[in-house]
Amino acid sequence: MQVPIFAAEGRLGAALARNLILFRSELFFPFRISLVHAFSLHWNLTDSDPTQLFKQWFDAAVSAGLPEPNAMTLGTATRQGKPSARIVLLKAFDERGFVFYTNYDSRKGRELARNPYAALVFFWQPLARQIRVTGRVTKVSADESDKYFHSRPVGSRFSASISKQSSVIASRDVLLGKLKKLEEKYPKGDPPRPINWGGFRVYPTEIEFWQGGEFRLHDRMRYRRRRDGSWSVDRLSP
């Protein structure tokens, strides 16, 4: 599933009845999480495929009008185990994994090249929901990267082409000077995808769904991938 570009603002306009979340009608915003969420998880987590459950939760976040519901924390680490984290945007997901795009020479790109494992966290606070993903990371194909790169706004394509992400620069004027030269070189707004820019796919080996509950009596369900590719599921203590 491809993830669309979202506006950076939004309001919750109505209750999501199928997700059993209680709203204060005059604010259109959740003010408490009911224990009925436990029943919701009992119903939903009979599905043996966590990808389908992720899609249900992601669609609920989109329907609720949350700002950038595809924003996720990406955790990486050096080969020595020194961690780092940042927010990136999910751009596609299916049974093969979760895709994001970046500069391969950035800090995260360098860390993933040496230690190809990552953790993702989605947090939708108004819905009291969190999803954690861990798994091995590989680059997407050049064709996939090309297709996504050329779907981006032209300004974003120029920015990706001029930025040596995570490197030290003397001033913003350096970037603006590079941008001007590139715009002159490609007046039709069609710069090619830089070879050091593209996508990564996180192939999940574990996915945990967290639903907030009253008095911190949360629900946690953990899916773990078996060797044959199927999934086991366990309920975890909050």
Residues belonging to the active site: 216
- The token pair that represents 184 in the structure block: 């002159």
Name beta bridge partners: 121. Answer: 73, 132
Non-local (6+) Cβ contacts of 135 within 8 A are 97, 117, 118, 202, 203, 204, 205, 206
Non-local (6+) Cβ contacts of 123 within 8 A are 73, 129, 130
Non-local (6+) Cβ contacts of 221 within 8 A are 41, 45, 208, 209, 233, 234, 235, 236
CB 149 within 8 A of CB 197: yes
- The token pair that represents 110 in the structure block: 């360098």
CB 200 within 8 A of CB 113: no
Residue 125 to residue 128: CA distance in whole angstroms = 5
Task: List own/partner pairs for 59-63 with CB under 8 A and 24 or more apart.
Answer: 60/16, 60/18, 60/19, 60/127, 61/124, 61/127, 61/129, 62/6, 63/16
